[in-house]
């Protein structure tokens, strides 16, 4: 799949491929943590296939007001903020504008935490293995901050699993976490996560909550543990 585009039918197909890569390689007690909203269909398929619990690590990109797809920073669920000054400058965002962009991202993270994790306990238990799943890595800044925040929450091992990612982001992230799984690594100056998918659309919070509710229902798929069936 290296340097190929349109390799996944949709996010669920991408999750099935990732589940196949992870099958038999995760310790007991691992937790699948989706980066909402786009990472949820991927993570839900991984969690269901491997019989592991699903939750969300809420992190949001910091983006300029005129382009919500291009990020130059990130905000995490625990209040951590990271801004790449070089990327901010390259986008022409001044400091007052950056403060507004960060405030907007902070509000988004708070809203999602309240909606997607209302009434739930700690994200991880001390020493847990956390598998962070998103639909792709562009710059990697959002996932890097998510890993930092989840480590701060007590996780003993951080594994990142993504269907697609830019080679430079995957390489940088591999130095910051314990393991990285990426099915479709691409290089080059131009990179868009959506280019790995035949069918791509944005997900809103309502769709994300529906996926989580289905995964959390008592009559949902049984937990089989990390030795459960993989995906060819």
pLDDT number for residue 68: 81
pLDDT value at residue 138? 92
* pLDDT over 70 percentage in the chain: 94
Q: Report pLDDT for 220.
A: 53
pLDDT at position 226 over 50: no
Residue 25 makes CB contacts below 8 A (sequence gap 6+) with: 226
Predicted local distance difference test score (pLDDT) of residue 192: 92
Q: How confident is the model at residue 172 (pLDDT cuts 50, 70, 90)?
A: very high
Angstrom distance (rounded) from CA 113 to CA 142: 16
Q: Residue range 195-208: average pLDDT?
A: 93
**pLDDT at position 2 over 60:** yes
Write the burial class of residue 194 (CB in 10 Å: 0-12 exposed, 13-18 middle, 19+ buried): middle
**CA separation (Å) from 29 to 11, 150, 230?**
25, 15, 17
Tell me what the mean pLDDT of segment 10-30 comes to: 96
What is the assigned CATH class of domain 11-216? alpha beta
Instruction: Give CA–CA dist 200/127, Å, rounded.
Output: 35
Specify the pLDDT at position 67. Answer: 87
pLDDT bin (cut points 50, 70, 90) of residue 126 is: very high
Instruction: Summarize pLDDT for 36-60 with one digit per residue, the tens.
Output: 999 999 999 999 999 999 999 999 9
Higher per-residue confidence, 212 vs 223: 212
Mean per-residue pLDDT of the chain: 91
Cite the beta strand spans of the chain per DSSP E.
31-34, 54-56, 59-62, 73-76, 81-83, 129-133, 157-166, 179-186
The mean pLDDT value for 118-130 works out to 93
Q: 11-20, 44-53, 153-162, 209-218 — which is least confidently predicted? A: 209-218
Identify the residue whose tokens are 């920073």: 73
Query: Do residues 154 and 160 lie in contact, with contact meaning Cβ atoms separated by under 8 Å?
Result: no
User: What pLDDT is stored for residue 147 in this prediction?
Assistant: 98
pLDDT digit string, tens, across residues 79-119: 999 999 999 999 999 999 999 999 999 999 999 999 999 88
* pLDDT value for 110: 96
- Which residues lie below 8 Å from residue 223, measured CB to CB, with a gap of 6+? 51, 52, 53
- pTM beyond 0.75, yes or no: yes
pLDDT at residue 228, as a whole number? 34
- Collapse the DSSP code of 100 into the 3-class scheme (helix H, G, I; strand E, B; otherwise coil) and give the result: helix
Taking phi over 0 as left and psi of -120 to 50 as alpha, with beta for the rest, 227 belongs to alpha
- Residue 229: pLDDT over 60: no
Q: Could you tell me which residues come within 8 angstroms of residue 62 by beta carbon, excluding any fewer than 6 positions away?
A: 71, 72, 73, 74, 75, 81, 83, 98, 101, 102, 105
């Amino acid at each position: 799949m290296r340097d190929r585009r349109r390799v996944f039918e949709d996010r669920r197909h991408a999750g099935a491929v990732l589940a196949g890569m992870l099958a038999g390689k995760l310790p007991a007690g691992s937790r699948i943590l989706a980066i909402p909203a786009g990472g949820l269909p991927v993570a839900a398929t991984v969690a269901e296939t491997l019989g592991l619990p699903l939750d969300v690590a809420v992190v949001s990109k910091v983006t300029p007001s005129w382009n919500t797809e291009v990020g130059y920073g990130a905000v995490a669920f625990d209040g951590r903020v990271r801004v790449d000054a070089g990327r901010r400058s390259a986008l022409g965002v001044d400091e007052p504008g950056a403060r507004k962009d960060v405030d907007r991202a902070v509000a988004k993270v708070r809203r999602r935490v309240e909606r997607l994790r209302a009434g739930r306990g700690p994200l991880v238990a001390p020493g847990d293995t956390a598998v962070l799943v998103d639909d792709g890595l562009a710059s990697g800044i959002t996932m890097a901050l998510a890993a930092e925040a989840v480590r701060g929450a007590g996780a003993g091992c951080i594994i990142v699993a993504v269907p697609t990612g830019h080679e430079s982001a995957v390489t940088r992230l591999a130095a910051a976490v314990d393991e990285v799984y990426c099915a479709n690594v691409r290089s080059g100056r131009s990179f868009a996560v959506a280019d790995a998918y035949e069918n791509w659309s944005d997900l809103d919070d309502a769709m994300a909550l529906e996926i989580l509710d289905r995964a959390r229902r008592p009559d949902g798929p049984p937990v089989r543990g990390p030795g459960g069936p993989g995906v060819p």
